[in-house]
Chains A and B, each alone.
Chain A
Amino acid sequence: MIGPPVLVVAEIDGAGPTANSLELLTVARNLATGSGRVVVACLGTRIGEGVGSELAAHGADAVVMVDDPIFTPFQADAWVHELAAIATELKPGTILVPHSLAGVEVAPRLAFRLDTAVATGCVGLDLVDGDARWTRSCYGGNAREVVSIHTTPVIATIAARAFDPLPANQAASVAIDRRPATVDPGNVRARVIAKSAAMTTGVRLENAKVVVSGGHGLGGAAGFEQVRTLAALLGGAAGATRVACDLGWCPRAWQIGQSGKTVVPDLYFALGISGAAQHMAGCGNAGAIVAVNTDPDAEIFKSARFGIVADCNEFLAALIEEIRKVRP
């Protein structure tokens, strides 16, 4: 028996799909085992030639591509309308959406538009007798819940890096269904009226492979200048705890955690950070955490791959010097 398809909403960044979009295909293939197809919906403007084959290489069976200027910059009214139209036609059993800035706005609205329900920020999927159980973080990272949804389509946003993309199969081919946008520009009520590129030089926190982050233990704004220096040396981005932002030691935009940004770097330096759950909610999925703290019993060491008990400022200065030697 052929089951209903799994619909994956892909996002495009530059020439290709985002890493998170490819990770969704892993989840989709899990759900589609033995039954339905994996269909990717791709909305954008001047979508690159290679997007379809890259999606195919990582697990897509078919791609619905709607290429129209109305989809960039992202405006939820346009996306929700188009995706609801696609879903109404394809009748998927599940819709997977990246847990991105756009995805967290699209998925809940799509759920209500299609009269179903959504699980956001999922980090795990288990199939129990074919029934999907989604694991997600809650209570600021202090707890996890496993939830199921019994209305269709089930909608889930998937956290970045919770799943690995499937190995690329370059031989895979895909049927691309290009279609015109059906959204009426007059129905886009909330509109982007001004947008400017980031003024910050360097890497965006959300995309950074390395994040250097400071907390209360750094003691003041001077420590955060060091944080900035180390981040720049490593080609990464600088972050901070809420307390450090509240104290005005660094820009508010650096805040990482439940009430700030979520980062998923390969390497995360936690300098003078105690490791409160609210902070870990924003960095707990990092590949490896290097923690530096004067208190060997600090909570942060429970999440750290490498632990250093030292004065953060002294250590930071020494680390900057050492990195300069290795990477002149």
Chain B
Amino acid sequence: MHIVICIKQVPDPEIAPSVFRVDEVAKKVISLAGTAPVINPFDEQAVEAALRIRDAEQDPANVTITAVTMGEATSEKIVRKAMALGVDQGVTLVDAAFADSDAYATARALAAAITKLGDIDLVLTGRQAADSDAGVVALGIAELLRLPAITLAKKIEVADGAVQVERAVSEGEETMAAPLPAVITIAHELGAVRKPSLRETMRAGRKPVRRWGPDDLGMDAESVGRAGSRRVVERLYQPTRDVDCEWVSGDEPAAIAKALVGRLVEQKLL
């Protein structure tokens, strides 16, 4: 079985909002000195999902896990990190021509890379990227490759050429099934991800990472990156919160509670 996970390098989403800044002219987030980009936390759960599928196999050696990323040259680091968790091999789509790709151009490049990898059974990604928050690329890959897709997986089982997925949906429990190959996006309900083991970390440096540009994918410069994108970012800014906070106070909790309930009733909020 060959599992491909698509991972993305993003600015660390854990940085405090007070130091988050955007460059409105360049329409980009300003990277903070001393903070390194990280693997998209949602994609980290896709890595974990792939490793769990392998753990459940009778013969884990039959499962190959490939991490694919598109981004800046530094994004090889997140592939190495995924390898330290147990991923076998990596592909980085690193080329100046890929810069400023939107979800459409990204999905096309990733789909081309997956096609080039050949025989694949599963494509796993996080449910969205923590920077764009769009949730488009995985479904785009499914459409471009004409594969079935199941979103928001919290548990995945593979058997007899099909995948069965328990989904994290709000109304009760839902299980879906699809024939392989299929695209699956992973929900946070999958649960905690593992830590890198010393053994895998030692091995990670020796695992193969291939670097592909547009030529390797059979794509011309016009169909990748900014030129191949379809959505135009007109503006990027930090929203100002324009709520005036009304402080409710009192001598003791009971008095504050009474005052608050009074105000909420007056405002028809209760």
- Chain A interface residues (CB < 8 Å from chain B): 73, 75-77, 101, 104-105, 108-109, 111-113, 116-121, 133, 136-140, 142-151, 189-199, 204-206, 234, 242, 246, 252-253, 255, 258-261, 266-267, 276-278, 281, 287-291, 299, 301-311, 314-315, 317-319, 321-323, 326
Contacts and interface: CB of A to CB of B under 8 A. Distances in A.
Contacts, number: 241
A77 B234 contact: no
B270 A148 contact: no
A147 B233 contact: yes
Contacts of A104: 135, 151
B177 A191 contact: yes
A139 B230 contact: no
B219 interface: no
Nearest to B179: A189
Given A111-B104, A198-B171, A301-B245, 13 more contacts: A116-B230, A137-B239, A138-B133, A143-B29, A143-B237, A190-B150, A190-B182, A194-B173, A252-B188, A259-B41, A260-B188, A289-B243, A319-B261
B174 A73 contact: yes
Given A139-B29, A190-B148, A302-B241, A117 B133 contact: no
Contact of A323 (B136, B261, B269): B261
Contacts of A321: 254, 257
Contacts of A120: 133-136
A226 to B, nearest CB: 12
Interface stretch (B13-21, B67-75, B112-120): B13-21
Q: How large is the interface on B (under 10, 10 to 19, 20 to 34, 35 or more residues)?
A: 35 or more
B31 interface: no
A189 B248 CA distance: 55
Contacts of A138: 131-134, 236
Interface stretch (B48-56, B57-65, B137-145, B197-205): B137-145
Given A109-B143, A146-B233, A318-B254, A306 B260 contact: yes
A261 to B, nearest CB: 7
Binding site secondary structure of chain A: mixed
B230 A304 contact: no
A105 B140 CA distance: 10
Contacts of B36: none
